[in-house]
Chain A
Amino acid sequence: NMKQGSLLGFFTKK
């Protein structure tokens, strides 16, 4: 089944 990704894997904290 599918695992929910996190935005932190795509967007960097400034």
Chain B
Amino acid sequence: MFEARLANGNIFKMIVESIRELVVDVNIDCSTEELSIQCMDSAHVALVSMSLSQSAFDHFRCDRSLSLGLNLPNVSKIFKMMGRDDTMVLKAEDSADKLMLMFENDKSGTIADFELKLMAIEAEQLGVPDTAYKCSISMPSSEFQRIVRDLQVMGDTCKISCTKEGLKFSATGQIGTGNILMRQNVASEKEEDHVTIDMEEPVELNFALRYLNFFTKATPLSPTVILKMSPGLPIVIEYPIEQLGHVKYYLAPKMEE
């Protein structure tokens, strides 16, 4: 029996909204420790790695590890019926062929419950090697979202280069070239406005803006976003969910022909 109760159901709704355009049919893996998802997009260019610790839940029971095969666009439709302040309860039997979702509104006392048929999704688990990245940048997630949105006007590829000058985002297209340079900023009193750049060695990589834009759907989950890069490796873009988990996106770089 799997049963989990999340007082702030909105967190789970935001997680679904942050990945449902990138990965459609996913397994939500339930273990005694956490709910997790690891899934590549259909083109095998990006990987989503989500984790939500059992400590995020007011009640968490998982007798046996389960994989709940779900179609995220359908899950997203169900979450449209959840109130902002609702408590969310997930429930599935061990012989899981369906998932119960319940939304409880403490104030009005209403309880909505939905049953989703589960899908058998063959899991292609990937081994993601632990890497000591050469550059690690923490910045306001709203700033990253704005940069990605603005540069999409200029072209479809974003060059991200981290040097001692700072972190530069560049895009070139028919109408010209755009560059946005961010420097380390730990002066502002608001922690969330800080930009910290840890650079062990300079890195310059190119990425498809279409994917970076997908990733910024996770902006509501976290005021800060962490970018990690090493020469010739996929970038990791991490949205921490307080101390409870994260949504991480891995994106393969674009290479010179």
- Residues on A lying within 8 angstroms of B by beta carbon are 1-14
Contact of A14 among B127, B206, B256 (CB under 8 A): B127
Chain A contact residues: over half helix, strand or loop, or mixed? mixed
Contact of B44 among A1, A2, A3, A6 (CB under 8 A): A6
Docked-complex contact B254 and A7, CB < 8 angstroms: no
Docked-complex contact A13 and B126, CB < 8 angstroms: yes
Q: Contacts A10-B233, A10-B234, A11-B47; is A5 near B254 (CB within 8 Å)? A: yes
What is the bound-complex CA distance between A10 and B250, given in angstroms? 11
Q: Contacts A10-B234, A11-B47; is A5 near B252 (CB within 8 Å)? A: yes
What is the bound-complex CA distance between A14 and B128, given in angstroms? 10
Contact of B255 among A3, A7, A14 (CB under 8 A): A3
Give the residues from 72 to 128 in chain B that come closer than 8 angstroms, CB to CB, to chain A: 124-128
- Residues on B lying within 8 angstroms of A by beta carbon are 40, 43-47, 124-129, 157, 206, 208, 233-234, 250, 252-257
Docked-complex contact A2 and B257, CB < 8 angstroms: yes
Docked-complex contact B234 and A13, CB < 8 angstroms: no
Q: Contacts A1-B257, A2-B256; is A7 near B44 (CB within 8 Å)? A: yes
Q: State the Cβ distance, B125 to closest chain A Cβ, in Å.
A: 4
Lowest 5 CB-CB distances: which A-B pairs, in order? Answer: A2-B254, A5-B252, A11-B126, A14-B125, A12-B127
Docked-complex contact A4 and B208, CB < 8 angstroms: yes
Docked-complex contact A6 and B45, CB < 8 angstroms: yes
What is the bound-complex CA distance between A2 and B252, given in angstroms? 12
Docked-complex contact A6 and B157, CB < 8 angstroms: no
Q: State the Cβ distance, A13 to closest chain B Cβ, in Å.
A: 6
Which of B46, B234, B256 has the most C-beta atoms of chain A within 10 angstroms of its own C-beta?
A: B234
Contact of A2 among B40, B124, B206, B234 (CB under 8 A): B206
Q: A7-B45, A9-B252, A11-B250 are in contact. List 17 more A-B contacts (CB 8 A).
A: A2-B157, A2-B256, A2-B257, A3-B254, A4-B43, A4-B45, A4-B254, A5-B252, A6-B45, A7-B40, A7-B126, A7-B252, A10-B234, A10-B252, A13-B126, A13-B127, A14-B126
Q: State the Cβ distance, A14 to closest chain B Cβ, in Å.
A: 4
Docked-complex contact A11 and B206, CB < 8 angstroms: no
Q: List 16 A-B contacts (CB under 8 A).
A: A2-B256, A3-B254, A4-B45, A4-B208, A5-B255, A6-B44, A7-B234, A7-B252, A11-B126, A11-B129, A11-B234, A11-B250, A12-B126, A12-B127, A14-B126, A14-B127
